[in-house]
Structure 1
Amino acid sequence: MPKIGLRHLMAGCALTLGLATALPALAQDTLTVWVTKGFYKGEDAALTDLIDRYQKATGVKVDLSLYSTEDCIVKSVAAVEAGTPPDVGYCTTYDFRTTGQWAFEGRLEDVSDVLNPIKDQFQPDALATTFLMNGKTGQKAYYAFPIERQTMHIFYWKDMLQDAGFSEADIPTEWNAYWDFWCDKVQAGLRAKGKRIYAIGHPMSVAASDTFFSFLTWANAYNVKIVDESGKIVLDQPENRAAMIEAVKGYSSIFTRGCTPPSSVNWLDTDNNVNFHNKTTILTHNATISIPSKHLDDSTNQTLTEEQRAQAKKNYEENIRTTLFPKKPDGGTLPNLAATKTAVIFADSKNKARAKEFMAFMLKDENLTPFVEGSVGRWYPVTKSGAARPFWTDGSDPHRAVVSKQFTGGTVPFPFVYNYHFTTVNAENVWAKALNRVVQDGVSPDQAVDEMIARIKEIAG
């Protein structure tokens, strides 16, 4: 008998007999868990260690599958539609693309009984993103678990900046002057030396989620309001439409000025990382610190040569800088657009009691903290205690110190937190389509924004 059939059969028998939670775990008591594979060995090792401890504590067998970022979401969506989802799912793009919609459609289990007793341990703005509307009941409840967080950062090569003839003290802090500096001065300085480089790795493609995370950060810089807290679209209000036009102009100008590789209109999510690592670009913006963290990971990678490990260590400690965004065009401080990665239990789960038990186990500090820190800073904690740990706060790591400063300085959520239809807006990448209407089709930013607003109203209005 196929493995999946046996699992479903045994789970059904256990529930029929009323033994799923009343008796100790039997040999057939199995929990199916799907997770996005980590970027680093430490992430996956922390997860398997957590699962080993859970299995020993409960006797329950965990059937773990690790998938690439895209495979995880595609397989999950297909399984939900077929009525055969895993018991627990944790794909790192659920929050962007499906969690809110699944909750609204009644496809997720209400997990308030797990979260309510421990909700004080979470950072309030992280927890709030999991309090979602169920369209079938007309009520909000906790339909997801907060696991990790991310926000947007800027990275640049200090050694390339110096090679162009500038120091870090030369970098402006005002919005327009900042981008002009990299485009007009630093890029020009290296081009004058015969180096075919680009100032900025600037995601522009419809295929990349990096594009909408970066662009919505730009929109925040121009004080664009897209929805209100009730979920009503306000982007069509004159002041917000005008601000969005300026955001589209500013973001697309990096491309039209030749400051980003022409291929950026076709990039996937890893390509801004790759171009940065290859030193094709001097600066990029990215929604985790996976860029410097790659070099930290390489510095202890025994499959590399001693020379390569030493260079990676130098890159992490000296050559790569993680920094805040410049001041907004109006001189204010840019709010940090943050996303909370969510794990879920599906309404069609065959083992909901064990799934809740597993998630309660995972959310204990001694289990969640090693999992988050196993990403070497790529993800930020959702718990108050995790964020207060020396790993983030002692200042010894220059990259994590910036991340900690960003999160403790306050965050703002994505529009989909207030209106789940924006997960569809993101999946379609209406934002990137508007940018490409400008840079590839030659339409005006005004027209591109009007088309954007019309499409958003069709989807989310």
Structure 2
Amino acid sequence: MHAGLRRRLFLATAGALGVGLAAYGAACTREPAPAPPSAATGDDSRTLRVWWAQGFLPEENEAILAILDRWKRAENREADVRFMPVNEMDAELLRALDEGKPPDLFHSTVGDMRIIPILAWRNQLADVSDLIEPRKHEFIPTAIEASYLKNKVTKQRGCYAVPFGQQLSYIHYWRDQLAIAGLGDQPIPTGWSEYWRFWKEAQDRLRAQGREGVYGLGLSVSPMDVDSFNTFEQFLEAYGARIVSPDGALLLDALGTRDKIVAVLREYAGFFNDGYVPKDAVEWTSAGNNIGFLEGRLLMTTNGSLSIPLTQKLDPNEYNLGARELYYDKMVTAGWPDRPGGGPLRMIVGIKQIVTFERSRNKEAAKSFLRFLLSPENMNLLLRDGGKGRYLPVTTRLLEDPYWSDPEDPHLSAALRMALGPTRPGYEAYSAAYTEVQFQNVWAKALLSVLQNKASPESAADWAIAHIKDTFEKWD
């Protein structure tokens, strides 16, 4: 196995991701759902072995178990489900691959950004085009684009992942806090510069009322937080800075790209230096902005799923009235402003995927289950009933379900509007080498060089460009 990959997996397992998940569970007063017992012993060679990311909600675990039970009855087979913490999955999987004993099915909530493009590149994933090609027209284009990954052995792209959900970088803000600031009746600007000035003004007004601990912008600048990388990438997209082409080529030397990276670094760092981003944002884990937002320290923040509002989407009863008021009345999910030059901002979408392996012992059974899972009934059970809308569907038929556009649910309907706009997958789908750029969180490190080491945005951009080029040159 690639030595660098082993090292980064060790760091991910031992370090920031684990801390972030633990803190997030505590902050949201909802611990990750306990893993149910396995459905079978797994000793039978005909038993379908499934490794699945442990759910954020108990219902997520229950949903996949229910779908597997349906499949088992239909196919007269057994299945062994292992629910795993996300920060342990990649290392466990690589050990299993080294031993020649991978599971038959694998799903990690960060697989599309981390391990899946790498394994496709190394020819370790089974081709699933026989599942996707006949129904390709049913999927949104971005889901298909993210599932056709480059293989260094065949030197071609192949369909190595089955897409089933999507997540975007949402903006959440507090409606009631804007009212206190005297801005509740004003529409939030859609122009890029005007939008960010609006949140600065909101902070200034609240500070003038004695709210010293409140910040207008919950933008992470921490190398330990994936939100910092994803948010910075969305800024780059807004400025038109293209880093990787769809065929996997680096675009860093294209005319104007460096200047656009410099502009983003200057603007993003300026928010922090001007006091509109908390000082501790340089140390946030993946839970940092979530905690700050739920505590009311942040007027707005960005997040890569609907997990923040879902902490307050509780059953209607006398004990949950406060949470329901937060979900339906005070907390808002919204899209991003227009690009600096005008026009809608193309959103970067994370496509949730399931894979099987070349060396899986039950590939045909795995494909049988995937075919079964893709039925609208089962997809609704997984995403709607189990996930409560944390991830949106990736088929046009399911996106037309009134559940997602329900105007009574302010968060799901806002998420749907964003998903129906212009989108693209993360650069990891274009080149497996970019998984290393993401893992190293190059953009956050460039930002910190400006904020802490007083580097100029120009020198920070040059460092980031050189680092990314070096990563691509050494990639194998």
Deviations 1:80-124 (A, max 9, x none): 344332111000111101211111101111111222222222122
Match for residue 446 of structure 1 among 458, 464, 471: 458
Which deviates more, 45-54 or 443-452? 45-54
**SS of corresponding position for 2:186:** helix
**Aligned match for 2:338, one of 318, 323, 327:** 327
Q: Partners in 2 of 1:54 and 1:271 — Cα distance?
A: 39
Alignment gaps of 5+ in structure 2 = 1-37
Q: Residue 16 of structure 1 aligns with which residue? A: none
1:126 corresponds to which of 143, 151, 157:
143
Confirm or deny: 8 A CA contact 1:148 1:372 kept in the other structure: yes
Q: What residue is the counterpart of 1:346 in the other structure?
A: 357
Q: 1:193 to 1:79 in 2, by over 3 A?
A: farther
Gaps (5+ residues) in structure 1? 12-28
Of 340, 352, 364, the match for 2:375: 364
Q: Which amino acid aligns with 2:146?
A: T
CA–CA distance in structure 1, aligned partners of residues 398 and 472 of structure 2: 35
Quick one: distance in 2 between partners of 1:263 and 1:72?
Answer: 29
1:427 aligns with 2:443: no
Q: Deviations over 1:366-421 (max 9, x none)?
A: 11122011222210101111111001124332211111111112212222222221
Deviation by residue 1:50-78 (Cα, 9 ceiling, x = unmatched) = 11111222232211111222123332233
When residues 264 and 74 of structure 1 are mapped into structure 2, their CA distance, relative to the original with a 3 A threshold, is farther
- Alignment partner, residue 201 of structure 1: 218
User: For 1:63, which of 80, 83, 106 is the aligned residue?
Assistant: 80
Deviation of 1:354 (Å): 1.2
Contact 2:147–2:159 (CA under 8 A) maintained in structure 1: yes
**Which residue type is aligned with residue 423 of structure 1?**
T
Instruction: For residue 351 of structure 1, report the CA deviation from its aligned partner.
Output: 1.5
**Which residue of 297, 309, 317 corresponds with 1:292?**
309
Distance 2:187 2:136 in 1: 45
Q: Quote the residue 1:270 is aligned against.
A: 287
Q: 2:335 corresponds to which letter in structure 1?
A: L
Kindly indicate whether the alpha-carbon contact (under 8 Å) linking 1:126 and 1:146 is maintained by their aligned counterparts in 2: yes
Scaled by the length of structure 2, the TM-score of the pair is: 0.87
Q: Secondary structure of 1:334's partner?
A: coil
**Counterpart AA for 2:346:** P
**Where do 1:202-217 residues align within 5 Å?**
202-217=219-234
C-alpha deviations, 1:331-375, integer Å up to 9, x for none?
222111112111110222122121111111111111112201122
Q: In the TM superposition, what is the alpha-carbon distance from 1:168 to its structure 2 partner?
A: 4.6
Deviation at 1:258, TM superposition (A): 1.8
Q: Which amino acid is 1:416 matched to?
A: E
Contact kept, 8 Å, 1:73 with 1:93, in 2: the verdict is no
Percent of aligned positions with the same letter in both sequences? 33
Instruction: Give the aligned partner of residue 192 of structure 1.
Output: 208
- The structure with the larger Rg is 1
**Quick one: structure 1 residues 389 and 442, their matched pair in 2 at CA, closer, same or farther if it must change by over 3 Å?**
same
Instruction: Give 2:433's aligned amino acid.
Output: H
Q: Deviations over 1:239-277 (max 9, x none)?
A: 011011111111222222222222211111122111111
3-state SS of the aligned residue for 2:217?
A: strand
Equivalent residues in 2 for 1:138-177 (5 A)? Answer: 138-177=155-194
User: Which amino acid counterpart does residue 210 of structure 2 have in structure 1?
Assistant: G
Give the secondary-structure state (helix, strand or coil) at the position aligned to 1:43. Answer: helix
Q: Which amino acid aligns with 2:450?
A: V
Partner of 2:417: 405
In 2: Cα distance, 1:138 partner to 1:411 partner: 26
TM-score (norm 1): 0.89
Aligned pairs, how many?
432
Contact preservation (8 Å) 1:299, 1:312: no
Preserved CA contact (<8 Å) 2:162 2:355: yes
Structure 1 CA distance for aligned equivalents of residues 254 and 272 of structure 2: 28
SS in structure 1 of the partner of residue 224 of structure 2: coil
Q: Which aligned pairs between 1:229-240 and structure 2 lie closer than 5 A?
A: 229-240=246-257
The match for 2:328 is 317
Q: How many angstroms does 1:7 deviate by?
A: 4.3
> For residues 95-154 of structure 1, what are the alpha-carbon distances to aligned partners after superposition, in whole Å with 9 as ceiling and x for unaligned?
101211111101111111222222222122212211122211223221111011011111
CA distance in 1, matches of 2:94, 2:167: 23
User: Does 2:219 correspond to 1:219?
Assistant: no
Distance in 2 between residues matched to 1:286 and 1:168, nearest whole Å: 25
Q: Distance in 2 between matches of 1:372 and 1:459?
A: 36
Distance in 2, Cα, partners of 1:74 & 1:179: 40
Contact kept in structure 2, 1:134 and 1:140, CA below 8 Å? yes
Distance 2:305 2:323 in 1: 18
Is the contact made by 2:49 and 2:103 (CA closer than 8 Å) also made in structure 1? Answer: yes
Greater Cα offset, 78-87 or 119-128: 78-87
Deviation, 1:170, is 4.8
| Contact kept in structure 2, 1:158 and 1:168, CA below 8 Å | no
Say yes or no: does 1:386 pair with 2:402: no
Q: What is the root-mean-square deviation of aligned Cα atoms in Å?
A: 1.8
Find the counterpart in structure 2 of residue 15 from structure 1.
none
Q: Structure 1 residue 225: deviation in Å?
A: 0.9
Distance 1:205 1:81, change over 3 A: farther
- Counterpart of 2:93, as a letter, is S
Q: Which residue of 1 aligns with 2:449?
A: 437
- What is the deviation of 1:279? 0.8
1:25 equivalent in structure 2: none
- Equivalent-residue separation in structure 2 for 1:432 and 1:335 (angstroms): 21
Query: Structure 1 residues 164 and 105 mapped into 2: Cα distance closer, same or farther (>3 Å)?
Result: same
- Given residue 320 of structure 1, which amino acid in structure 2 is its aligned partner? M
| Bigger Cα displacement from structure 2, 273-282 vs 228-237 | 228-237
